Chain A
Amino acid sequence: MNPYRALGEYKFWRSAIANKSIFNIENIWLPKFSIKPRTRISTYGSCFAQHIARHFRERGYKWVNREPAPKTLSDESKRRFSYEIFSSRSGNIYTTSYLYQLLRYAFQLETPPELLWEKGDRFYDPLRPSIEPDGFLSKEELLRSREVFLSSFRESVVDCDVFVFTLGLTESWFDVSGFEYPICPGTVAGEFDQDRHLFKNQGYNSVKRSLVDSIKLMREHNPRLKFLLTVSPVPLTATMSGHHVLPATTYSKSTLRAVAGDLAESRRYVDYFPSYELISSAHTRGIFYDTNARTVVPNGVSFVMDKFFECLGPVDRKGTHAPPRVSATDDVLCDEEILDSFSTSERP
């Protein structure tokens, strides 16, 4: 007799994975808390979080949208201006430290820097450089929009039951003043200044501390708030770590995965959903990635989200399990992908 004999079949690789079709994997996630259609859900994070938001919305769940677009704005324009992608118009939040920084601004523990970028007669917000693709009309308009965003972001934390966050990167860029940029200056907007802009590849402790601080701050303002963490299965577009992009990706994802796992293990109000494993593990043989071995194909997203809702169990409202239409053009807005345009192999 040994303790492995009492384990269920989904604890063994052969019975849970090797002998099954990847589409029939069961019990991949046992939710710690219920998420029902009436549960108010806010979603933020890296590119992959956008899929989660869309699926919640289209399956009839109460997805929080605290910064709605004007009602006549078309879906195409909403995408262009980053509406209805996250629960407020945050743009991608790739790192836990950037999340914590935004939370400090939103809850007025700190004031955002006066910093802004000018290009021609247009103005770009370093907090959300791609939010207005052609920049803002004036400095005043930019600051007013930033204020609207920060209050909407705060409301989306206070007025929700579950905060879903997808961890994306460990690699980050800071200003010498300590301000963290959401993406390297000079890529989406702004000018890169090597004396001013500092690269930092964050380690486990740094990532964890920022996430713990973020969760603590959010629960101070919303004590019943629960968290669902995921890790983006999308590999790095580029790395500044000095290493090859493949091990750099593994380092980044492993760190994020370890932090998410540890927090989920140690806190009853934090859970982890294994979207990363469902897409990227060896058993899938990469079928959920596009030919660039990086982009997750729409069917991969649907597969993950179907598993997610399957694991949540039956729901008490008609129609909520109906998955949204899979579209081959269902792209996400991903600031980080701009780094690919700086690849020497792409240069003429």
Chain B
Amino acid sequence: MKICFIGNSHAGAIRRGLELVDDSLKDGIDITFFAYGGRGFSRVYAEGEALVTDNSSLREGLRFTSGGLESIVPSEYDIIVIYGLGFYSYFPFDASRYSDAVLQNSCLDSFSNSLAGHLYREVSKTFLTNSIKKILACSTPFPAKSENHSKEEIERHFDRSSECYSNALRRIGCDFFYQPLQTLSGVECTKESFSKGSLKLATGDENDDLPHDISDKSHMNEVFGKYWIEHFLKKLGSN
């Protein structure tokens, strides 16, 4: 199975995590990463069947992270994973205050108005024939901190929000993949241990693999990445 994994700086942890995953789990899986930090992917657009960019720095980043490719041809893959890119799966804790229509629109807006939404639209444009591929939207990990929520509250919120995001994104032909429940320390926060010692995404510049600032709680480490990708591959296998 060929997987195209497109993401921003948060994809660094996943890429490192993949190296730690047992080979048996990766058997038959071929993942190509295309990653670039910040809002770089806003300079990517569809041209025929490919996603291209007119930005030389981004093009270099794509080439570096993918191992030599300067453009992305989504139709060459079985699954397109859009990871992070400003997409956060925030969901109201007091969801009962809102109608289902409002909640679904808020989920859809969160995705559509992010860089991930832009990329999704551009990817969709490249499907010129009927070869519609599976597109998976994966939200950015919640910041690492601790919150006073009970296990039951976290689980209830997780179930409700993942269901709502899944339903909302399905309306536009996209699947949703939530941050694994076991990585959460609160309804919208990641266990603090997962952000300790996180390293910067390597894109071929002088910042490659440098540690994130100690105050950075938004980027995760390779342990998180390993956990995430294992969870992802198992889900993929079960589907």
A72 touches B102 (CB 8 A): no
The residue in chain B whose Cβ has the minimal distance to the Cβ of A138 is B100
Contacts of B102 in A (CB 8 A): 69-70, 73, 77, 81, 132
The residue in chain A whose Cβ has the minimal distance to the Cβ of B112 is A74
Which of A67, A73, A141, A144 meets B106, CB within 8 Å? A73
Minimal beta-carbon separation of B164 from chain A (angstroms): 10
B96 touches A134 (CB 8 A): no
Minimal beta-carbon separation of B96 from chain A (angstroms): 7
Q: How large is the interface on A (under 10, 10 to 19, 20 to 34, 35 or more residues)?
A: 10 to 19
Which of B106, B110, B112 meets A69, CB within 8 Å? B106
Does B187 have its Cβ within 8 Å of any Cβ on chain A?
Answer: no
- List A41-98 residues whose CB lies under 8 Å from chain B: 67, 69-74, 76-77, 80-81
Minimal beta-carbon separation of B109 from chain A (angstroms): 4
A81 touches B96 (CB 8 A): no
Minimal beta-carbon separation of B171 from chain A (angstroms): 13
Does A137 have its Cβ within 8 Å of any Cβ on chain B?
Answer: yes
- Give the total of B residues in contact with A, Cβ under 8 Å: 19
B101 touches A137 (CB 8 A): yes
Q: Hey, what's the 0/1 contact readout for B153-183 against A, CB within 8 Å counting as 1?
A: 0000000000000000000000000000000
Does B88 have its Cβ within 8 Å of any Cβ on chain A?
Answer: yes
Total A-B Cβ pairs within 8 A: 53
Contacts of B90 in A (CB 8 A): 70-72
Contacts of A132 in B (CB 8 A): 99, 101-102
Contacts of A77 in B (CB 8 A): 102, 105-106, 109
Q: Hey, what's the 0/1 contact readout for B84-108 against A, CB within 8 Å counting as 1?
A: 0000101110001111111101110
Does A136 have its Cβ within 8 Å of any Cβ on chain B?
Answer: yes
CA of A136 to CA of B101 in the docked complex: distance in angstroms? 8
The residue in chain B whose Cβ has the minimal distance to the Cβ of A82 is B102
Contacts of A141 in B (CB 8 A): 99-100
Q: Hey, what's the 0/1 contact readout for A143-155 against B, CB within 8 Å counting as 1?
A: 0110010000000
- Interface of chain A, main secondary structure: loop
CA of A132 to CA of B106 in the docked complex: distance in angstroms? 14
Contacts of A80 in B (CB 8 A): 105
CA of A144 to CA of B99 in the docked complex: distance in angstroms? 9
Which of B91, B99, B103, B107 meets A136, CB within 8 Å? B99
Does B113 have its Cβ within 8 Å of any Cβ on chain A?
Answer: yes
A70 touches B113 (CB 8 A): no
The residue in chain B whose Cβ has the minimal distance to the Cβ of A81 is B102
Which of B92, B96, B112 meets A70, CB within 8 Å? B92
Minimal beta-carbon separation of B90 from chain A (angstroms): 5
Most B CB contacts (10 A, CB to CB) among A77, A136, A148 go to A77
- List A111-153 residues whose CB lies under 8 Å from chain B: 132, 134, 136-137, 141, 144-145, 148
The residue in chain A whose Cβ has the minimal distance to the Cβ of B105 is A77
Contacts of A145 in B (CB 8 A): 98-99
Minimal beta-carbon separation of A129 from chain B (angstroms): 14
CA of A136 to CA of B102 in the docked complex: distance in angstroms? 10
CA of A52 to CA of B102 in the docked complex: distance in angstroms? 25
CA of A95 to CA of B99 in the docked complex: distance in angstroms? 27
A70 touches B101 (CB 8 A): no
Q: Hey, what's the 0/1 contact readout for B201-230 against A, CB within 8 Å counting as 1?
A: 000000000000000000000000000000
B103 touches A70 (CB 8 A): yes
Can you sample 12 A-B contacts with CB below 8 Å? Answer: A67-B97, A69-B106, A70-B92, A73-B105, A73-B109, A74-B109, A80-B105, A132-B99, A136-B99, A136-B101, A137-B100, A148-B97
Given contacts A70-B98, A70-B102, A71-B106, 12 further A-B contacts (CB under 8 A): A71-B92, A72-B88, A72-B90, A72-B110, A73-B109, A76-B109, A77-B105, A77-B109, A81-B101, A132-B102, A137-B100, A141-B99
